[in-house]
Structure 1
């Protein structure tokens, strides 16, 4: 591949991670093009030709920026969001246009053979939380007891089986609200954080019937572990969330000054994290683990496009941005 090969960042307009990565690649003299999904289709021009001689594809993004898919070295998939359509489109027109755009762009991405961090279909396959838990358990991780249900009585039974120490978390997280907003629905103000379920809350479980909810036993922890795997390299950080009552369940629940510490996982656990990410065919993954007071390490979940700079800001010795940029530049 020639030296002018392009690096494509597939994301949305508000993504500080992509801001930093694009800047870093530019400083290195790399040809980098950022594709924000909000610019599709109104500020972009799509072209794909397929014939007996093969295929060619190009994407014009305005301002003289063009993606030539015959010259793409690598693609970083960060945080692509929904496409944006003219206000004049009614709901039916938006649904049809969206289906056509998704089909067209998915075809283009599937034809593009280059280094992917990571392929879209593999990111989707790696995002189902119950499947993650099953796979992690089969591979040798310890996992929390978990149910996903729409039956209030099952929740009450599980609460008792957990001796009253139970948490609830969303399955889709922000993606579910984004999808609703994309369809034009009024998006409610929903708390997406992992949180305790109290005994009083058990009397108001009718909302569970509307959509599957994920409930887990709460396991006491000494600290959280954020393990980021980039192209096989493992970066581990301890997050001592237990220092603050507001972050005891979810370290994202507060802006409290939580201590972070770079660490190294035991050899077998580091290899297990690497193997877990590799089992999906991913080049990147951000795994959430906890270490219990008695030293056990418990798997919680993996985010195939997870945030990592909140760790690197506190622990600059974990040079994850450098590792990601090197992965994209590598021929």
Structure 2
């Protein structure tokens, strides 16, 4: 049987499950964000063995585990209820307890084959990604992580050209009914830190800004790359980051053939990272450089599959089925 760990409302999961139904394969879907509220779980441990059960299924019943999405525990019913009790103190405690439980869950699948191993995902931050990508032979932007104003100014002077600033983890949108605040990649003015008077700030990732010819989204599955070119540089709204979507005038998406040397380096990088699937962001610069930006092991794949007719939903289903053998 296949165990699918995902989240509510993930359309990509739904489409892949349609193919599993078509091929008449047994699976169980668990939305991790409501795992504790809507499923019966137990982990028995003694001197001789340990066994995890989920809804009467033992972990040994699952030959394959697909970690598709982790869900958002902070928006679960349990977490929302906790915000009315002791405010952030209880919420923080529940978050740590939830993380510890998920770790216990994942290490119990000692004999299962994984599509997107959760332990590899949890250990792969942006810093490690850049180091592993460079080790694998991929070109990366010149980068600095710092919390110091002087260090940032010196780095910007060294770059001479444009630079970009990013969060170390994921982009996020915060807001109230009146206002929205986006923490995402932004162009950094060379004069920014002259007017920014604080000597210290939250550690941030500063990188050289590269003028791109095209932006590349590459879905990786079992050593195969499915690449799509995004002409985001033709629109000022999406020029820095295509995720600043222009819904009135969408970017053009087309299939793209990567050079063999880049394909080999990507395969090497994913092996170093311990991943057999993921969505990779790269750019091709106007000077012909192929530059690695990041990989999202749980990234969307239907946005590559549909425009390029890659039928990735079926390919993922077949990957899961093949791992049963």
Q: TM-score range by the shorter chain?
A: 0.7 to 0.9
Distance 1:107 1:202 in 2: 44
- Runs of 4+ aligned residues of structure 1 deviating over 6 Å after TM superposition are none
**SS of aligned partner of 2:181:** coil
Query: Cα distance, 1:206 vs. partner?
Result: 5.4
Are 1:226 and 2:221 an aligned pair? no
Partner of 2:303: 310
Are 1:269 and 2:266 an aligned pair? no
Distance 2:139 2:262 in 1: 11
Distance 1:235 1:97 in 2: 39
Partner of 1:260: 253
Query: Cα distance, 1:208 vs. partner?
Result: 8.3
Q: Structure 2 vs 1, CA of residues 198 and 38 (structure 1 numbering), >3 Å: closer, same or farther?
A: same
Are 1:79 and 2:69 an aligned pair? yes
Structure 2: give runs of 5+ residues left out of the alignment.
Answer: none
Partner of 1:239: 230
Counterparts of 1:125-144 in structure 2, within 5 Å, are 125-126=123-124, 128-144=125-141
Of the three residues 312, 322, 325, the one matched with 1:320 is 312
**SS of aligned partner of 1:253:** coil
Partner of 2:122: 124
Query: TM-score by structure 1 length?
Result: 0.84
Are 1:107 and 2:104 an aligned pair? yes
Partner of 1:297: 290
Of the three residues 201, 204, 207, the one matched with 1:213 is 204
**SS of aligned partner of 2:243:** helix
**SS of aligned partner of 2:254:** strand
**SS of aligned partner of 2:298:** coil
Of the three residues 32, 35, 53, the one matched with 1:58 is 53
Query: TM-score by structure 2 length?
Result: 0.86
288-297 vs 214-223, which deviates more? 288-297
Are 1:8 and 2:3 an aligned pair? yes
Q: Structure 2 vs 1, CA of residues 193 and 204 (structure 1 numbering), >3 Å: closer, same or farther?
A: same
The 8 Å contact of residues 227 and 237 in structure 1, kept in 2 or not, is answered as yes
Query: Cα distance, 1:139 vs. partner?
Result: 2.0
**SS of aligned partner of 1:137:** helix
Structure 1: give runs of 5+ residues left out of the alignment.
Answer: 61-65, 182-187
Q: CA RMSD in A?
A: 2.5
Counting matched residue pairs gives: 310
Distance 2:48 2:188 in 1: 60
Q: Structure 2 vs 1, CA of residues 44 and 93 (structure 1 numbering), >3 Å: closer, same or farther?
A: farther
Partner of 1:146: 143
Distance 2:92 2:157 in 1: 44
Are 1:195 and 2:193 an aligned pair? no
Query: Cα distance, 1:294 vs. partner?
Result: 2.5
The 8 Å contact of residues 146 and 215 in structure 1, kept in 2 or not, is answered as yes
Query: Cα distance, 1:40 vs. partner?
Result: 3.1
Partner of 1:286: 279
